[in-house]
Amino acid sequence: MRTRSVVPVFVLTTLAIVPGACARPRPAQQADAVSLLTEGFDANVRRDVETVRRATEKFHDLAVAGEAGYPTRIPACIADSTMGGMGHHMIDRTRYDEKLEIERPEMLLYAPLGSGKLELVAVEYVVPYGAVPATAKAPRLFGQALKRYDSQNYWALHVWIWRRNPAGLFADWNPTVKC
């Protein structure tokens, strides 16, 4: 007697609702995501977001990020009770210098999903004050001036390339990130 495997309807519905639950986004889906993320910005910002997404796509797998030089030990999740969260900052110390390269962010930001799982949500570009003093003109990337972080002694720019941020593409805090 042959038996058939039956997948409950709620499983199929869930997979249909959760984009990328089982597979990487197709190019058309990726283009739609970039359009949503970069709404209101010019073609240069859109191009740069597409570039960094291609360069970091493999880092959805934390093990691959570790092999590329980002830490495998998970640092504390950074959050603000009113602004939202930033997530876990994984910094590649070999990239901590005066150079800003779209396809080589100094930090990857991961948001907790529960059950110990993490989701890549953003990148952060950093230039230490030792390379560009706090008194100098701010470095620029994506057409944006990096912000001063005097407590960390560096310039930085968050870019929410994998999760839409209602506060803005370049905002520090994302209200959808919870620690």
Host domain of residue 147? 26-159
The pLDDT tens digits along the chain (179 residues) read 433 333 333 333 333 333 333 344 444 455 688 989 999 999 999 999 999 999 999 999 999 999 999 998 899 999 999 999 999 999 999 999 999 999 999 999 999 998 889 999 999 999 999 999 999 999 999 999 999 999 999 999 999 999 999 999 999 999 999 99
Report which residue type is found at 14.
T
Is residue 39 in a domain? yes
Is residue 118 in a domain? yes
Is residue 131 in a domain? yes
From CA 131, how far away is CA 47, in angstroms rounded?
27
Question: Which sign does the torsion angle of CA 15, 17, 23, 26 carry?
Answer: positive
Count up the domains in the chain and report the number: 1
Is residue 122 in a domain? yes
Is residue 33 in a domain? yes
Is residue 174 in a domain? no
Is residue 72 in a domain? yes
From CA 104, how far away is CA 70, in angstroms rounded?
11
Half-sphere exposure for 136 (CA within 13 Å, toward CB): 15
